[in-house]
Amino acid sequence: MTYVTDRERDKGIEFIGVPSEEKDKKEIWELLMACDQDFVPPLSKRTSSAQKMWGVDTDFSKSEGPKAYFEEMIRQQFVILKEKEKIIGFVTFKIKDMSVEVPGNLAANYITTLCIDPAHRGKHLAEHLYVFLEKELPDEVRASCLTLRTWSTNRVQLHILKKMGYVCCNVLRDDRGQGVDTLYFYKILDRITTHSQLENSNNSNKTTTIPINGILSENN
């Protein structure tokens, strides 16, 4: 498999904070629509990135898509990934959030949503967005810990988290339906994964390949 260099890849990754450009908002919305059904439950069935009551009937029409989720998410902090001036991926986070209990009661940046354009998947782009969150955020929004949640059948995501040193700190059994747990993770940033370490890991013969089966590397 061919990989672009770190330098070439990093040119497309940028921290923009809360989006203000209408072009960016439009492309983020389009990407969220493309990824809607990849999440469990779908984003169009949710009211926010912090929702915990999965069984509530939101009664959203299909035409609205993940509108309520988008309106809450768009007020968060964004790292975007562009190719040819178009957003092909993004990750969002809340600054110094305390909603996930971690050792030492550290205030963490809570990662809420990660989306990669379906046409650009399989290139390890999600992993490099995580690396950016770990080591390249501006000082004013950096934290000593990252937290997130995902679901137990999201096998590609779980493989990435294990490889990058995230620790599972809480499991809510059958939280999203029979046999689908909600998992909470954290990573204390005393040991940071670099782009070169990630590249070596991706090229290693020891890396286990997990069948995708429709499960994508997204959070939440």
For the packed helices 195-203 and 125-135, what is the interaxial angle rounded to 10 degrees? 150
pLDDT averages per 10-residue partition of the chain, 220 residues: 41 91 97 95 84 53 77 96 95 90 84 96 92 92 94 94 94 93 91 48 39 40
pTM, 2 dp = 0.79
Which residue has tokens 């937290």?
Answer: 147
What are the backbone angles phi and psi of residue 155, rounded to the nearest 5°?
Answer: -70, -35
> Looking at 18-117, which runs of residues are DSSP E strands?
77-83, 86-97, 108-116
> Which residue segments constitute the domains of the chain, with CATH numbers given?
6-203 (3.40.630.30)
How far CA 94 is from CA of 5, 80, 97, 148, 209, in Å, comes to 29, 15, 6, 10, 31
Asked if residues 109 and 95 have their Cβ atoms less than 8 Å apart, the reply is yes
Give me the residues paired with residue 13 across strands.
Answer: 81
Give me the residues paired with residue 17 across strands.
Answer: 78
Per-residue buried b or exposed e for 179-211, using 16+ beta carbons within 10 Å of the residue's own CB: ebbbbbbbbbbeeebebeebbeeeeeeeeeeee
Asked if residues 82 and 12 have their Cβ atoms less than 8 Å apart, the reply is yes
| Apex 207 CA angle, 206 and 210, nearest 5 | 135
For 144-191, the DSSP string reads SEEEEEEETT-HHHHHHHHHTT-EEEEEETTTTSTT--EEEEEEETTS
Please name the helix (run of DSSP H) or strand (run of DSSP E) that holds residue 24, with its range, or none.
helix 22-35
The answer for residues whose C-beta is within 8 angstroms of residue 140's C-beta and 6 or more apart is: none
Q: Quick one: pLDDT at residue 65?
A: 81
Q: Quick one: pLDDT at residue 34?
A: 96
Q: Quick one: pLDDT at residue 49?
A: 79
Q: Quick one: pLDDT at residue 210?
A: 27
For residue 84, the tally of other CB atoms under 10 A from its CB is 6
Instruction: State how far the Cα of 137 lies from the Cα of 86, in Å rounded to an integer.
Output: 21
